Structures are given as structure tokens and as C-alpha cells.
Amino acid sequence: MTTNATTVPAYAAPAAHAPLERTTVPRRAVGEHDVLIDIKYAGICHSDIHQARDGWGEGIFPMVPGHEIAGVVAEVGPGVTKHKVGDRVGVGCFVDSCRECEYCLQGLEQYCTQGMTGTYNALGKDGEPTYGGYSTHIVVDENYTLRIPEGIALDEAAPLLCAGITLYSPLAHWQTGPGKKVAIVGLGGLGHMGVKIAHALGAEVTVLSQSLKKQEDGLKLGADHYYATSDPETFTKLAGTFDLIISTVSAPLDFGAYLSLVKTDGALVNVGAPEEPVALNLFSLIGGRKTLAGSMIGGIAETQEMLDFCAAHGLGAEIEVIGADRINEAYERVIASDVRYRFVIDTSTI
Ligand code: NAP
Ligand code: ZN
């Protein structure tokens, strides 16, 4: 690689619903404040699948998904102070924001009023499409990169850049800690990190999964209790139990049923991003002064805090590392809830 703009190997969906295939994409020249990252691993998030299949609306194609990026700095621009060549770094769901609005100034760049610039399926300030982590290299402004602490292997760190922060942020915001009863709905990529982090924060953790198939894993990950939501008795037994429930479910859910499990003054926080709207009887909120909220990833500072927290507690993701030729197969397994618990692409195979 040189300081000039270049093209790099990548895996892309050429069109919505089309299988991903090997291609090349442009990367900009390394600017004053940019770092060139030699990507080692990229996690597969369910959001990649929603977007590659136009589930959230019309996407930009060809699309190179991937916003759970872990790698090593290969080159730095002359103005870079945060990183040096050889540093272990990560990139999450966004690579830029306006840097001026009230949310950017508070470190809540994910809620930028101008809209953050997604790591892929977005247009950068230069008007060019962004391409994500299913690739060998990426050029990113140093302000939108993270330091991956020693002590977390790069492959196990990659999923923290989205799955980890998406659960850490609401768990922190709703003051998870000892004495709090927290339930995580859905034991997939996000959910399994929620169990690990909530447990490390000292909460009493319950998994609410469609079946008991992953019960043994859930308990090993740190859950104290595990229930199948396919069993109607779960909802009578656990009525009014939780201070906080976080739903990570990728499909529409009966939120009224889950709100019945929340204590008075408790909260149900949804982080899942299903493709269809859901209906809700508002009586499930009124009785019990309950909160139904949403949360989206986390800002750069909080993402760094999460990485440092995970390193201090020895937390990484449970992963299945795959070659790039298995991306399409992995997508089908994620959709079938057959992921234990994050697929991570070894980008040397691209
Ligand atoms: P994932 O690995 O597929 O996990 C989702 C889990 O939800 C599944 O493993 C399954 O767990 C459960 N589930 C799936 N279909 C279900 C259904 N029909 N009914 C009930 N439960 C069902 O996906 P992920 O990568 O964790 O992402 C989860 C969702 O969060 C996606 O919609 C994604 O786009 C979104 N997301 C949001 C943010 C954010 O910032 N808010 C960030 C990243 C991702 P069980 O088998 O245990 O039931
Ligand atoms: Zn994601």
C-alpha cells in the first residue's frame, strides 16, 4: 500500500439479495488525520444481512458489509497522534459524523443530528460510498478508530465493536449492577455479549430464548437463569420480575408480553432492528409506569470504555472464524438462529 488512493480486495453483495462475491473496492489516499488499517478480522452482524438484502430500505450497491473490524495500523497520516504503525485498532459502525452538533460534542456521535457516516452503505463527506470490513484494508480518520487493548485476541475483539457496545451502552445507561435483575432476549451475537457484560457488571442475569437449546451455553456465559419463551408458563412465572429487559431480537416481537415481565418503573430497551413495524397496546406501559426505549450502538469514547472494561474482565466474543468463501452460508445460519455466537471472517482469505 502507498499513500495514494488504491483498490483492495473485498467481498461485496453486487445487488440486493445477491450472494456476496469477491471483488475490489477503492480506498482513499491516507489523509492528514487518517490511518490505514490492515484488517485481520471482521465480524458478521445481523445488520449486515438486513442491509445486504434491502431490509431497511434501498441500499447502496455494490455493498461491502462489515462494521466489526479489528486490525493493525499499517500507515498513518502526518497529523495522526492517536495511533502509530503496528497498533491494534478497531472500527465500529461509523467512520465520521458532523463533529459539531450537541450530540457529537457530548461523545454521542451515533446520534449526530446530521447523521453519522456509516462504515458501509453510506456516502462519506466526499460524496463517495463507504465500504466496510469484509476487505483487506480500510482508511479511517483516527478520531473514529478504537484502541484494542492487549489481552483481547483480535478475532474475539472484532464483535465487540458492534455487538459489545450495543449492549454495553444501554446496560450502563440503565445503571446495571449488583441487586439489579436483567433479562436478555435472544442469545445471538448481541445477546451473548449482553449476558457476559451484565454478569460482569454484577447483575442477576436471565436469558429469554426461543428454546432451551442453548441453555448450557447461556449459563456458562454468565446467566443465572434461562427460560424458553415458547413456553407460555415463562410469562406467568416471570411476571413483574425485571428492572431491565434488553431485546436483541432481529424479528418483530410481542413487546406487550415482554413488558409484563418488567417491574413497576422498570424498562424494556429494544436494540433489535426488525424490518417490519410492531403493534403495541399502550396499556402495557401505563400500568406500572414502565419505559419502552431504544438504543443504538455507542459513541467513540464509550466504545473505548467498553473495550477497556472487556479487557479488564477477560471478555471477548464467542466466535466461529470462517474463510470468506463461507460468508453466504454464515448468513443463512444467522437467519436460522444457528450462530454460536458470532461468525468472524479471517480477512486473509479474501
Ligand atoms: P443474531 O445473532 O441473529 O441474534 C438475534 C437472536 O434473536 C437470535 O439468535 C435468536 O435468539 C433471536 N431471534 C431471532 N428470530 C427470532 C424470532 N422470530 N422470535 C424471537 N427471537 C428471535 O443477530 P444480532 O447480530 O445479535 O442482531 C440482532 C438485531 O439487532 C438485528 O436486528 C440487528 O440488526 C440489530 N442491531 C442493532 C444494533 C443497535 O445499535 N441497536 C446494533 C447491532 C445490531 P434465540 O435463538 O436465543 O431465541
Ligand atoms: Zn452490527
Mean pLDDT of the region 112-139: 97
Residues with CB under 6 A from ligand 1: 45-47, 50, 162, 166, 186-191, 209-210, 214, 248-251, 271-274, 295-297, 334, 337, 339
Ranges for all domains in the chain classified under CATH 3.40.50.720: 166-294
Mean pLDDT for 227-232 is 98
Residue 115 one-letter amino acid: G
Reduced to 3 states (helix: H, G, I; strand: E, B; else coil), residue 23 is strand
Please say whether the beta carbons of 310 and 85 come within 8 A.
no
Residues counted in the chain: 350
Give the nearest ligand 1 atom to 339 CA. 2
Q: How close is the Cα of 244 to the center of ligand 1, in Å? A: 17
> Average of pLDDT values for 280-307?
97
Sorted by sequence, the CB contacts under 8 Å of residue 277 that are 6+ apart come out as 252
Of all protein residues, whose CA lies closest to atom 4 belonging to ligand 1? 188
Q: Are 230 and 168 in contact (CB under 8 A)?
A: no
Task: Give SS3 for 41.
Answer: strand
Asked whether the beta carbons of 268 and 262 are under 8 A apart, the reply is yes
Determine contact, residues 146/88, Cβ cutoff 8 Å: no
In the predicted model, is pLDDT for residue 281 greater than 70? yes
Residue 93: pLDDT over 60: yes
Of all ligands present, the nearest one to the C-alpha of 67 is 2
Cα-to-chain-centroid distance, residue 66: 10
Q: Which residues of 54-79 are buried (b: 16+ CB within 10 A; e: fewer)?
A: bbeeebebbbbbbbbbbbbbbbbbee
Q: How confident is the model at residue 280 (pLDDT cuts 50, 70, 90)?
A: very high
User: Across all residues in the chain, what is the average pLDDT?
Assistant: 97
Which residues, 6 or more positions from 26, have their beta carbon under 8 angstroms from its beta carbon?
5, 6, 7, 128, 131
pTM, to two decimals: 0.98
pLDDT tens for each residue of 308-317: 999 999 999 9
Task: Please report the atom of ligand 1 found closest to the CA of residue 210.
Answer: 48
Which pLDDT does position 1 carry in this prediction?
44
The fold of 166-294 is Rossmann fold (3.40.50)
Q: 204 in the Ramachandran plot: left (φ > 0), alpha (ψ -120 to 50) or beta?
A: beta
Residue 16 is classified by DSSP as T
Ligand 1 pocket test: which of 337, 339, 340, 341 has the largest number of ligand atoms within 8 Å of its C-beta? 337
Residue with the smallest CA separation from ligand 1 atom 9 is 188
pLDDT score of 4: 86
Lowest mean pLDDT among 2-16, 129-143, 199-213: 2-16
| Residue range 39-71, pLDDT digits in tens | 999 999 999 999 999 999 999 999 999 999 999
Where are the domain boundaries for CATH 3.90.180.10 in the chain? 6-162+298-349
Q: Is the pLDDT of residue 3 over 90?
A: no
Q: Averaged over 80-100, what is the pLDDT?
A: 98
Question: How buried is residue 91: exposed, middle or buried, by Cβ count under 10 Å (0-12/13-18/19+)?
Answer: buried
Q: For the segment 81-90, what is each residue's pLDDT rounded down to a tens digit?
A: 999 999 999 9
CATH superfamily of 6-162+298-349: Medium-chain alcohol dehydrogenases, catalytic domain (3.90.180.10)
Phi, psi of 54 (to 5 degrees): 60, 30
- Spacing, Cα 189 to ligand 1 middle (Å): 7
Give yes or no for residue 2 having a pLDDT over 60. Answer: no
Q: β-strands 181-185, 146-147: how paired?
A: unpaired
- What is the 308 CA–ligand 1 centroid distance (Å)? 25
Please, are residues 65 and 113 in contact by the beta-carbon 8 Å criterion? no
Distance CA 234, CA 228 (A): 7
